[in-house]
Amino acid sequence: MKRQSRHRARLSLPAALCARVDEQAHAARAMWNLLHAWWQMMPKEKRTLANADAAIRQARKDIDFLGALPAQAAQAVLKTYFQAWKNCWEGRADAPKFKTRLRTVMAVDVPQGQHLNIVRVHRRWGMVNLPKVGRVRFRWTKELPVGRRANRDNRITGARLVKDDLGWHISFRVQTHETEPEAHQGPEVGIDVGIAVPLALSDGGKFEHGAWLTDREQSKLLRLERRSAALQQHRKRGGKASKRLQYVYDQIARLRAKAKRRRQDWQHKTTTTIARTYGTVVVEALQITNMAKSAKGTIDRPGKNVAQKAGLNRSIHSEAWGRMVDMLGYKLAQHGGTLVKVPAPGTSQRCSMCGVTTPGSRESQAVFVCKNPDCGWSGNADHNAGRNVLHLYRIGLVAIPAAGRRSRQARERVQPATVR
């Protein structure tokens, strides 16, 4: 089977080349805005791909700074814009909008993979050819199908340049031909996600992590946030930020981007370990948007414990449970495993031994003591929730169709309740 994947690597760009790539990204954003303006002005019968192509070709001749964008990258902007409208008409996304300068991610497409000419020059570095930029270095962290390894089935079909707060990165689009994996023979496991214990497994295992920033980095972040608050007092309402304030903003953004990169690294390593170990992974179908709603309330009915709820919401977003589940889905599919989602309500309050929910059974964040007089079981609260999650799958209460090679078998599987 053919598999489409992406591999992101950090670029090493000198200041001059970095400014050149910045020009291309701004030109790509301007091209999108011009296409959107053209779309709104033209009547419906003239909104065709051919007319739009002629319009952007003429714009590249009339507007000088659009010439910084390679012709193939301009065609990629055109195709992306029309695909955005198609997604809107089919109900998968909202209508396209103008892209602002400050809130838009700077990116440039390189649609032709054969023009990249990727070569590995060092154990840690490789070279890639970028249109209108030249040969640049990128961090080599994964084997790529280049040189003798490249063929019709295994090759790089394109790339995309993306800029974040840590600099420019290149995301390669990799196409590989792989044999369909056999069914994973590993055991079943239920996973309960949380704040104190990020991942608690039904078999008693758990995956934890420390703070994403060191003590020194956290102190620096706090100092920068206080500095930005002091500088904002001298900023006029609605006015532009000063260069000093913008420099502080950039430092804060770099620290937060560093924490995000470390979190993603931990998630990738953890999900890979789980996918290799277990054949069926059961998780809760969490409504994260509803869980992270603000507690401010309204003027008539103000909320309670607003500051505490705001801190909890930040912790929920910091754990990125949705991204974790997505990683588990595609990695389990690669290893022949199955990802199943079950209803979330009641898994933390129900006793995994007797199946009865009694008020006050969860005495603390870490301790669960069943208040049922006929049971009285006690144990770790997070592992108890993981056992309940697995039990819901075993009795057939699947909330969302499973993802993976054996998804159909997992949806159809219904077993009687058993004592675990």
Q: Number of folded domains in the chain?
A: 2
351 part of a folded domain? yes
Q: Are residues 203 and 119 in the same domain?
A: no
403 confidence band (pLDDT: 50, 70, 90) = very low
Where does a domain end: 161, 179, 197?
179
In which domain, by residue range, is 353 found?
188-209+258-412
On whether both 104 and 195 belong to a single domain, the answer is: no
Task: Classify residue 314: in a domain, yes or no.
Answer: yes
The encoded tokens of residue 390 equal 């697995």
| 64 and 113 both lie in a single domain | yes
| Residue 369: pLDDT over 50 | yes
Predicted confidence at residue 253, as pLDDT, reads 93
pLDDT tier, 414 (very low <50, low <70, confident <90, very high otherwise): very low
Placement of tokens 């929920």 in the chain? 316
Query: Does 234 fall in a domain?
Result: no
Residues 151 and 291 in one domain: no
Is this structure's pTM higher than 0.75? yes
E strands of 65-141, at which residues? 107-110, 119-120, 125-130, 134-139
Domain check: are 152 and 201 in the same one? Answer: no
179, 199, 221 - which closes a domain: 179
- 94-102 mean pLDDT: 89
Which pLDDT belongs to residue 300?
Answer: 67
Q: Which of 153-167, 171-185, 359-373 has the lowest mean pLDDT?
A: 359-373
